[in-house]
Amino acid sequence: MDASRIGRALLIVALVAGVAGGLLVAASALGLRRLPGDVSFGKGNVRVYVPLATSILVSVVATVVLNLLFRR
């Protein structure tokens, strides 16, 4: 691989990470930190958080966006 292809790939990865970070900040500002269906439990110093509803929501949104982007 030549350096230009590696550089282009790194820029794309950075752009995707930046967009994902922006979406997380926006979701947090909208109050989507803990949805009903997210499981959280703990005892003592141990805390376990399983974001089931959040994972399903992110999966559905990502599926719709990717289908719209890569539709032929």
Tokens representing 18 are 């930046």
Residues 46 and 71 in one domain: yes
Residues 39 and 58 in one domain: yes
> Does residue 51 register a pLDDT over 90?
no
Q: Is 28 left (phi over 0), alpha (psi -120 to 50) or beta?
A: alpha
Residues 29 and 57 in one domain: no
Q: 48 has which bridge partners?
A: 41
**What's the burial of 47, exposed, middle or buried (CB within 10 Å: 0-12/13-18/19+)?**
exposed
Regarding predicted confidence, which is higher, 13 or 54?
13
pLDDT tens column, 22-49: 887 887 787 777 778 888 899 999 999 8
Are the C-beta atoms of residues 38 and 50 closer than 8 Å to each other? Answer: yes
CA distance 61 to 24: 13
Residues 40 and 13 in one domain: no
- pTM score, whole prediction: 0.56
Residues 38 and 71 in one domain: yes
Residues 22 and 2 in one domain: yes
